[in-house]
Amino acid sequence: MTMARATTSTVAALCFLLSCVSATPSTLAASSAIIHDIIRGLADTTAARVRTDAEATARASTDFGTNATADDAARPAAVFYPSCAADIAALLRASSASASPFPVSARGRGHSTRGQATAPGGVVVDMASLAVAAGRDETATTNASSTSASARLAVSVDGRYIDAGGEQLWVDVLHAALAHGLTPRSWTDYLRLTVGGTLSNAGISGQAFRHGPQISNVLELDVVTGTGDMVTCSKEKDADLFDAVLGGLGQFGIITRARIPLAPAPARARWLRLLYTGAADLTADQERLIADDERRGGALAGLMDYVEGSVVTDLQQGLIGSWRSQPPPSSSSFYSATDAARIAALAEEAGGVLYFLEGAVYYGGASDTTAADVDKVTRST
């Protein structure tokens, strides 16, 4: 982790997510006693809720990657349910000021893969409670000079951005933006992830070749640092902290709000899926589809809006019967029964391994791409 350009507040923020892997049961027990004293004090002075019961701490000690377990050594001492960013700041100030600072971790939906959302012997902050406190479905429409501070999803139509709480799901960000004919430019493949969670990683999908990852599409952040400072940062203000938090795996601060730029949403999309028996052919076509000039991409250069390649060893779980496409005869299936049989035969011929490339072209609405352009792509592929 590079820290050469980190500011003082950024460096201080490291204290709240230091690993406790080397901690012994006795030190964890002592830390838990200190945490309980601090939590009791916080609960008396904030609107936050605190749980130390086994059900809450066990749930907060596991994640999607299952590399962390729910045994006693991995459990947090408490789970903190804040009602606002100031509650989180109070917790972090208490940890920072303590003679024995304890680890604090922000948890969205627990989709981390290596325990980043856990805090053995420390405190896990349940970020979803911010939305519950504000009203889960609350949205607001504003102009460029007036943004609702209380809403956890606030669209500025004139400013072409959306302010989203760090706990908000990207699918809800999309719905709020689409209500005004707008959309973020860069996504993740799975939209039921939190804004703060993906911005703490990278946020990569098949649109990244054109717009960059999600961390390259942020205008401003509200961050709570490890010393409990509440900072609004951007490329122009506290830029070092801004750059450190984006993709920083939660080590430099907790994201409580992000301002995401929006663009006009296309009216329609044409989705293509191409199958290959070899990786070399797939990557060659992939290079053509993401090229930005005709010398490298030919007639397809610059037309594709989404390109992503995958390898599949289990057709039912990875291609035909997965979340991407229900198996035939389902009406939502991408394939007909004839297609499924042909794919199975191709897989057998290829030794059970297939490669596939997905691509999408957006058109209609504000897009410059026309239906004729889409037909050109279809014929060329």
Strand-pairing partners, residue 270, are: 361
- How would you classify residue 90: left for phi > 0, otherwise alpha for psi between -120 and 50, otherwise beta? alpha
User: What type of residue is 313?
Assistant: T
Catalytic residue among 138, 175, 180, 189: 189
User: Which position among 138, 243, 308, 373 bears the catalytic label?
Assistant: 308
Number of neighbouring beta carbons within 10 Å of residue 345: 10
User: Catalytic: 308?
Assistant: yes
For helices 85-97 and 25-45, angle between their N-to-C axes, nearest 10 degrees: 130
Residue of 87, 111, 163, 222 with catalytic role: 111
CA distance 356 to 277: 9
Contacts of 88 (CB under 8 A, 6+ apart): 80, 82, 106, 125, 224, 254, 256
Q: SS3 string of 76-133? A: CCEEEECCCHHHHHHHHHHHHHCCCCCCEEEECCCCCCCCCCCCCCCEEEECHHHHHH
- Between CA 171 and CA 185 the distance in angstroms is 13
DSSP bridge pairs for 182: 264
Catalytic residues: 111, 189, 308
